[in-house]
């Protein structure tokens, strides 16, 4: 278990536990109850960790308000905190608008323009809703998730509330690895990593957000960013000194040595009440599990329904099924089977003795421990679930300009799974190779189990809740 050079976890004899202990804040029983507003923007994986945080803060006696997209409101029912709807759901825009469909086919030369065409109207809705929520709630603390912090920093500063940023990916420049949205984990030369961060932030602000935020700040009466803020909210961040709480595992990626004290790596946040205990397995799923060796879990979350068209999805799924059949036919691999998550895929192939096509959500903490390996899209939440289950993991990113290739690189670098390939460029040969590697290479099995043993000692929810109470 060798963490990346330059990250805090690699500088300890015990690589993880001292790092987590240093991030835990004293919890005093006398802390007064506070109103906490947590605006969440993004996919299901961008909501789940903060639902866990909301439950923890509510249990500590605080008044919690989660800003969420309407399609995820059911995930919050019965949790004890209040919700406020945030419009501007990117997943819906990708699948339901002409601009979204064009963005899926973007290339290096037109990506910025197409992304701006999608994001501008979404950000306007998100900004207006955040403004209205803060005006109504009058929170004591605003804990803004990644995109909410990017567009809403001036709202946070003007509110008079204390603030912090909650990031599911690294969100502060470092020389030790590349920005998560630049498609890979690291460059061979450290100065190239730092250069990517600095140039990327400036280009991102000037080409994507500067004009939009200038308009929104003026419309809603907020102080504009001065011209000297070439990096937009990153420059504001240096002045307001809000803590940056990163909610991914320090087991997987520790804090870089060149990050300031305010930037911390706290751990993944998961609900403590396991859904596995209460889940009643449908008869067809249980029958498949009982019929042979543990299967490979192949699932891409909401990505399968958000990217590409129905014909592409059917070819993609047909190729997975064929790859499983061909690997099973190889000498010594006759027990290979798979459960393939197909929610949102539209037309799907029929289930077989080898492949069960799963057409409904099933709790990861119930299903993954029953599997021998996983193939996923590489979202931070699903990566966490695979680590928790201790399973060798292959990654097939759908969004190549998202954090998915970043986590895919890290898992491969940690020898937990094989080299990744992008979903857009799938082939039978690539699927077959990934499946065969996952079921034959013992190092992936051993390393995944070893990472699990350390990962289970983390408690990201407690660390983040303590940090919020310490603001």
Regions of the chain short of the pLDDT cut 50: 1-3, 9-28
The pTM for the full model equals 0.88
Give domain status of residue 358, yes or no.
yes
Q: Which tens digits make up the pLDDT trace of 112-170?
A: 888 899 999 999 999 999 999 999 999 999 999 999 999 999 999 999 999 999 999 99
For residue 28, the model assigns a pLDDT of 46
For residue 11, the model assigns a pLDDT of 40
Give domain status of residue 201, yes or no.
yes
For residue 273, the model assigns a pLDDT of 64
Do residues 323 and 436 both lie within one domain?
yes
Cα 342 to the center of its chain, rounded Å: 20
Do residues 183 and 317 both lie within one domain?
no
Do residues 210 and 291 both lie within one domain?
no
Do residues 305 and 449 both lie within one domain?
yes
Do residues 331 and 407 both lie within one domain?
yes
The domain boundary residue, chosen from 242, 270, 291 = 242
Do residues 106 and 162 both lie within one domain?
yes
Q: How many domains does the chain have?
A: 2
Q: Which tens digits make up the pLDDT trace of 329-368?
A: 886 656 899 999 998 888 888 999 999 999 988 989 899 9
CATH code of the domain covering residue 394: 3.40.50.2000
Do residues 143 and 47 both lie within one domain?
yes
Show the tokens assigned to 206: 């000037």
Cβ atoms 56, 467 nearer than 8 A: no
CA-based nearest residue to 459, from 261, 251, 257: 251
Do residues 289 and 177 both lie within one domain?
no
The domain boundary residue, chosen from 242, 271, 299 = 242
Give domain status of residue 9, yes or no.
no
Show the tokens assigned to 250: 């320090």
Give domain status of residue 273, yes or no.
no
Do residues 352 and 437 both lie within one domain?
yes
Give domain status of residue 97, yes or no.
yes
- What is the SS3 assignment for 85? strand
Do residues 214 and 123 both lie within one domain?
yes
Give domain status of residue 232, yes or no.
yes
Give domain status of residue 325, yes or no.
yes
Do residues 169 and 315 both lie within one domain?
no
Do residues 72 and 139 both lie within one domain?
yes
CA-based nearest residue to 361, from 41, 42, 40, 44: 44
Q: Decide the pairing of beta strands 63-68 and 35-39.
A: parallel
Give domain status of residue 449, yes or no.
yes
What range defines the domain where residue 230 resides? Answer: 31-242
């Amino acid at each position: 278990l060798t963490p990346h050079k330059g990250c805090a976890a690699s500088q300890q004899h015990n690589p993880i536990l001292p790092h987590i202990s240093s991030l835990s804040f004293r919890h005093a029983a006398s802390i007064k109850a506070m109103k906490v507003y947590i605006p969440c923007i993004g996919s299901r994986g961008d909501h789940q960790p903060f639902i866990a945080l909301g439950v923890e803060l509510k249990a500590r006696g605080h008044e919690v308000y989660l800003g969420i997209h309407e399609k995820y409101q059911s995930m919050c029912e019965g949790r004890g905190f209040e919700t406020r709807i945030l419009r501007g759901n990117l997943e819906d825009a990708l699948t339901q608008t002409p601009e979204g469909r064009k963005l899926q086919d973007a290339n290096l030369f037109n990506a910025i323009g197409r992304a701006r065409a999608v994001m501008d109207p979404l950000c306007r809705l998100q900004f207006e809703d955040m403004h209205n929520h803060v005006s109504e709630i009058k929170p004591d603390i605003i804990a803004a998730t990644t995109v909410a912090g990017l567009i809403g920093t001036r709202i946070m500063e003007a509110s008079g509330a204390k603030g912090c940023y909650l990031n599911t990916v690294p969100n502060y420049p470092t020389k030790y690895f590349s920005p998560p949205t630049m498609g890979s984990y690291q460059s061979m030369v450290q100065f190239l990593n730092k250069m990517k961060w600095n140039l990327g932030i400036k280009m991102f602000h000037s080409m994507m957000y500067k004009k939009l935020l200038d308009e929104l700040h003026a419309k809603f009466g907020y102080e504009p960013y001065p011209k000297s803020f070439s990096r937009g909210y990153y420059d504001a961040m240096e002045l307001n000194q809000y803590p940056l709480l990163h909610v991914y595992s320090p087991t997987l990626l520790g804090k870089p040595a060149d990050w300031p004290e305010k930037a911390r790596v706290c751990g993944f946040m998961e609900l403590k009440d396991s859904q596995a205990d209460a889940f009643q397995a449908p008869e067809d799923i249980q029958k498949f599990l009982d019929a042979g060796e543990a299967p490979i879990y192949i699932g891409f979350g909401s990505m399968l329904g958000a990217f590409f068209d129905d014909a592409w999805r059917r070819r993609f799924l047909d190729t997975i099924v064929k790859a499983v059949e061909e690997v099973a036919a190889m000498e010594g691999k006759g027990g290979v089977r798979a459960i393939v998550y197909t929610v949102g895929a539209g037309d799907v192939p029929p289930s077989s003795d080898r492949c069960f096509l799963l057409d409904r959500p099933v709790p990861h903490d119930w299903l993954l421990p029953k599997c021998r390996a996983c193939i996923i899209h590489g979202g931070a939440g699903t990566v966490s679930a695979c680590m928790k289950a201790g399973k060798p993991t292959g990654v097939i990113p759908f969004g190549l300009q998202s954090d998915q290739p970043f986590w895919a690189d890290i898992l491969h670098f940690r020898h937990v799974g094989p080299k990744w390939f992008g979903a857009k460029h799938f082939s039978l040969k690539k699927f077959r190779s990934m499946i065969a590697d996952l079921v034959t290479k013992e190092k992936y099995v051993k390393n995944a189990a070893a990472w699990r043993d350390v990962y289970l000692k983390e408690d990201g929810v407690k660390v983040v809740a303590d940090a919020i109470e310490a603001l």
